[in-house]
Amino acid sequence: MKAIIDNHLCQGHGRCVTICPDVFDMDDAGNGIVIVDEVPEHLVDDAEEAAVACPETAIRIER
C-alpha cells in the first residue's frame, strides 16, 4: 500500500503528521511528505485516517 500527497493541494496543516508520524512528515517548506515507500500493515488504519482528516484532500492511499 502506498500513501501519496498531492503537493499542489497540500497547504501544510500537518494533520497527517499528527495522526500518523511514522508515515508522514513535513518538508522544509512546511508541506506534508510521505517518508515510507510502502505503508506497513499495522499503520494502514492510521494512514487512512490521516487521508480522511486532510482538509485539502491532498492524501491518497493506494492499495
pLDDT tens-digit series, residues 7-61: 999 999 999 999 999 999 999 999 999 999 999 999 999 999 999 999 999 999 9
Q: In which band, very low, low, confident or very high, does the pLDDT at 6 lie, cut at 50, 70 and 90?
A: very high
Number of compact structural domains in the chain = 1
Residue 21: the pLDDT is 98
Verdict on whether the full-model pTM lies above 0.75: yes
Domain CATH for 18: 3.30.70.20
Domain span holding position 8? 2-62
State residue 30's pLDDT score. Answer: 95
- Cα–Cα distance for residue pair 53/63, rounded to 1 Å: 19
Cβ atoms of 61 and 38 closer than 8 Å: no
